[in-house]
Amino acid sequence: MQHLEEDLQVRWLKLRIKLKEKFGIKPDMNGVLLLIGIQELGKGPREYSKEEKQDLMHIAVCTILMPSGYYQLEGNDEEGWPHFKQLKPLPEFNMIEQENFLKDHALLYFQSLNFI
C-alpha cells in the first residue's frame, strides 16, 4: 500500500510541475480544482469572486468524480454554470485519504485530456 501511496504522490508532483510550466504557478489541491473548474465552466481566465471560486471548485470535484459514478451532470443554468446531481454517497475518509482520493481522480481527469 505504501508503494501505491508513493506512486500517487510522485504522479501528483509531476502534474503540479507540468501545470507550473504551462501556467507559471505550481498549484496546491485547491489551485488544481480551481483550474479544472475554470476549464469546465468554459468562460476562460478572468477575475472570479470568492463565491464563484467555491462554485468552480465544486464543479471540479463533481466533474472529476463523474467517471466513478458519484455525480451526474444535470445541465447548465441560464448563465452557463453546470449543475450536478449526486448519485451515491462519497466514501468516509480521513483528511489524508480524502485528499488522495481527489488527487487520484484529478490525475485521471488530466489523463483523459491527454495533458499528462
* Residue 99 in grid coordinates: 485528499
* Lowest-confidence pick of 5-9, 45-49, 59-63, 87-91: 5-9
C-alpha 96/C-alpha 2 separation (Å) is: 13
Look at residue 5 and tell me whether its pLDDT is greater than 60: yes
> Which among 63, 18, 69 is positioned nearest to 41, based on CA atoms?
63
Confidence band for 104, pLDDT divided at 50, 70 and 90: very high
Question: What is the mean predicted confidence (pLDDT) over 58-82?
Answer: 97
Return all residues near 43 (Cβ < 8 A) that are at least 6 apart: 80
DSSP letters for 58-90? HHHHHHHHGGGTSEEEEEE-TTS-EEEEE-SPP
> Which among 103, 75, 71, 110 is positioned nearest to 4, based on CA atoms?
103
* Beta pairing, strands 82-86 & 71-76: antiparallel
Neighbours of 90 (CB within 10 A): 13
Instruction: Tell which phi-psi region holds residue 42, choosing left (phi > 0), alpha (psi between -120 and 50) or beta.
Output: left
What's this model's pTM, rounded to 2 decimal places? 0.92
Instruction: Tell which phi-psi region holds residue 28, choosing left (phi > 0), alpha (psi between -120 and 50) or beta.
Output: beta
